[in-house]
Structure 1
């Protein structure tokens, strides 16, 4: 069953979400106060509308409470972002994801009921920093303030040993949840699985444990 999405704010972040959802064949309503942006997305989204979502009558008129998921991607206008989120939740929108500009903005959004708050610039900065800091880290995804999933390339020290021989979970408190090996992906690998040199290990755990594992085994 297809979900219906609405994206409010068609800047770089909102625009990229709108394009990707549309490319996946999903129903997307694109909304912005800027007519030129709306015209640009009129051939991309299912519906493109000029509207000010800080006006409750506009939110009601667009029927946004009937959408499965509304993404508030309003750019630098924090007041408009907060007011839009508040109106959406008060009008019964089930799932609202909002782009935050800073930590204070995030605190306010959570207090008024935002279901998911994202920091695209901050999160991308952290991912890039982790890649730059280690030759072995391919990708990094933050799960919370203290836990992450990281893709790490197995070096010679790890290659040729089984997961149980390395005793990674007991020694470092992290779990290998999958292994990418050329075109193959091993999900939940067995303890006796032999890690091969250049395997990509998908590791989950607390950030300080992952860092300890990287320094001890992969540096």
Structure 2
């Protein structure tokens, strides 16, 4: 073999060996997908408020924006809307009887519930919602029912309504029950409120649900005990 060819082979082999051992230094770094800090459609003022939310909540909204930008924008705008508390006086209940009560809470699944129904799943954006407050149901002699909500607070939404459900813990609108009743729009996400219904059998119903009609999401529920 000519010396010139032998030298060329040695050089090529040396380069290959060097390339093998230095690969981590010269390889092109992979491109990792990043999530933008800004949420499309928000004003500068709301973007600043959005940045103050917990990072985990921000991330969920950003992931939502990838699939449905307008939904993410409207839900964030509703959430960040300045609070407008409503404090309605307690009506006269001197001739009424308390027949049900409950406490508002976000949807959760206990270990026992998961074992009883392995297919049960919480809604995909459930972690965005928080709620608290007391519910009292009073029955009047004239077949009226007063739904009294006290010390209430909930994550605000675009189109929240009150649903009286046949199910104690519906995980979706499909589980509201055959005879569910849409009582009224939620008048405020903070405060004390009164709602009335007539001519119902309260024993047929097991929870009061806060539901967003626009995006078909359950924000919270109060089981009727």
Shorter-chain TM-score bucket reads under 0.3
**Structure with larger RCO (C-alpha < 8 A, sep 6+):** 2
**Alignment TM-score, normalising by the size of structure 1:** 0.25
Query: Which is higher, the Rg of structure 1 or of structure 2?
Result: 2
**Alignment TM-score, normalising by the size of structure 2:** 0.25
